[in-house]
């Protein structure tokens, strides 16, 4: 029983990581029709930004408020990079899908290369509070605190995004834009501002995933964003392009599937099962769990 609880909670931790990456990816695609292959760069910037700040930023560190400050710095850096990418590289290419894909794929490769050139290709130990290295006993299972932190963060981010979409004017614009971007424009709204905003939200969530992923894995490496992005894309497709709630459900399905199958089957079989799950969803419900809606 305690094994099942442990697998469930570590699976949910992994799901939380996928959700943080996929939520922004999904909103960006749902609203702006941009398949952002450079989304992993935002995660990398968030992770390295946190790592750098913990060592170099006055007041920041690996514990207590210092760690919070380091994470805030990493998230701010990831958000800034996401906004710049949208304004400088993506905005001139809206409605030019092939060029967008080429630019974002190129940027993802260049971003990893830049991180490698600056801080080396090897994984580096991530500065993290001592309590995140410890475990908490839950119903007989010793669950890593780093995973619990990820779950709490993902739930808070999910609540914040849903509240933003539900209660703010820009949230309303994004929900409407996911349904019919052209009609939003025809109501006199400059939808490009909403594009920048979803890039900022997506960048912030991905950067947070980078920072907390560093805590979860204990290390940070330049290629981390790219490998997580593959599963985030699977989550987005299964959840439904543009649906934050759908991404949450899909992330849980993917995280739990990977964790349980890898444990009870052979290592790596979980990844194959996730791809099989994607194929089943595409065959039976191509629009994903939630279809193209920005909320539930």
Partner 1 sequence: MEPILSVENLSVRIAGLHILQGVSFTVAPTGVTVLLGRNGVGKTTTLRAIVGLTPPAGEVRGTVRMGAQSLLARPTHRLVRGGLGYVPEDRCVFAGLTVAENLRLAERRGSTPAYDKVFALFPELDRRGRQRAGSLSGGQQQMLAIGRVLLNDNRLLLVDEPTKGLAPKVVTEVAEVLERVAESVPVLLVEQNLAVVRRLARDAVVLAAGRVAWTGDAQELLLETALTKSLLGVGSAEGHHPAGTPAGARKDQH
Residue number, 38 or 184, with CB nearest to partner 1: 184
Residue number, 27 or 112, with CB nearest to partner 1: 27
Residue number, 56 or 97, with CB nearest to partner 1: 97
Q: How far is the CB of 161 from partner 1 (least distance, A)?
A: 16
Site residues (CB under 8 A) for partner 1? 94-96, 169, 172-173, 175-176, 179-180, 182-191, 293-295
Q: How far is the CB of 232 from partner 1 (least distance, A)?
A: 24
Residue number, 7 or 172, with CB nearest to partner 1: 172
Residue number, 63 or 179, with CB nearest to partner 1: 179
Q: How far is the CB of 291 from partner 1 (least distance, A)?
A: 9
Q: How far is the CB of 165 from partner 1 (least distance, A)?
A: 11
In angstroms, the CA 65 to CA 79 distance is 21
Residue number, 92 or 286, with CB nearest to partner 1: 92
Q: How far is the CB of 184 from partner 1 (least distance, A)?
A: 7
Residue number, 136 or 185, with CB nearest to partner 1: 185
SS (H, E, C) the chain: CHHHHHHHHHHHHHHHHHHHHHHHHHHHHHHHCCCCCCHHHHHHHHHHHHHHHHHHCCCCCCCHHHHHHHHHHHHHHHHHHHHHHHHHHHHHHCCCHHHHHHHHHHHHHHHHHHHHHHHCCCCEECCCCHHHHCEEEECCEEEEHHHHHHHHHHHHHHHHHHHHHHHCHHHHHHHHHHHHHHHHHCCCCCHHHHHHHHHHHHHHHHHHHHHHHHHHHCEECCCHHHHHHHHHHHHHHHHCCCCHHHHHHHHHHHHHHHHHHHHHCCCCHHHHHHHHHHHHHHHHCCCCCCCCCCCC
Q: How far is the CB of 174 from partner 1 (least distance, A)?
A: 11
Q: How far is the CB of 162 from partner 1 (least distance, A)?
A: 14
């Amino acid at each position: 029983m305690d094994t099942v609880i442990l697998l469930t909670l570590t699976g949910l931790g992994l799901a939380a990581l996928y959700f943080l990456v996929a939520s922004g990816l999904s909103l960006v695609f749902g609203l702006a029709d941009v398949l952002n292959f450079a989304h992993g760069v935002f995660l990398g910037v968030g992770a390295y930004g946190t790592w750098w700040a913990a060592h170099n930023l006055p007041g920041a560190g690996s514990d207590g408020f210092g760690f919070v400050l380091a994470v805030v710095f990493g998230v701010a850096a990831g958000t800034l990079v996401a906004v710049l990418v949208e304004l400088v590289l993506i905005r001139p290419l809206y409605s030019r899908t092939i060029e967008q894909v080429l630019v974002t794929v190129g940027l993802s490769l260049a971003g990893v290369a830049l991180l490698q050139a600056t801080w080396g290709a090897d994984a580096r130990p991530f500065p993290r509070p001592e309590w995140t290295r410890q475990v908490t006993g839950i119903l007989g299972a010793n669950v890593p605190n780093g995973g619990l932190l990820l779950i709490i963060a993902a739930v808070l981010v999910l609540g914040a995004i849903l509240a933003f979409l539900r209660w703010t004017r820009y949230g309303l614009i994004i929900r409407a834009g996911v349904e019919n971007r052209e009609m939003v424009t025809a109501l006199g709204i400059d939808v490009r501002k909403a594009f920048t905003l979803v890039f900022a939200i997506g960048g912030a969530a991905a950067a947070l995933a980078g920072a907390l992923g560093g805590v979860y894995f204990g290390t940070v490496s330049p290629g981390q964003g790219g490998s997580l992005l593959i599963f985030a894309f699977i989550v987005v497709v299964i959840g439904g392009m543009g649906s934050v709630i759908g991404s949450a459900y899909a992330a849980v399905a993917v995280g739990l599937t990977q964790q349980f199958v890898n444990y009870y089957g052979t290592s790596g079989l979980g990844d194959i099962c996730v791809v099989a799950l994607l194929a089943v969803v595409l065959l039976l419900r191509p629009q994903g769990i939630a279809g193209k809606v920005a909320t539930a």
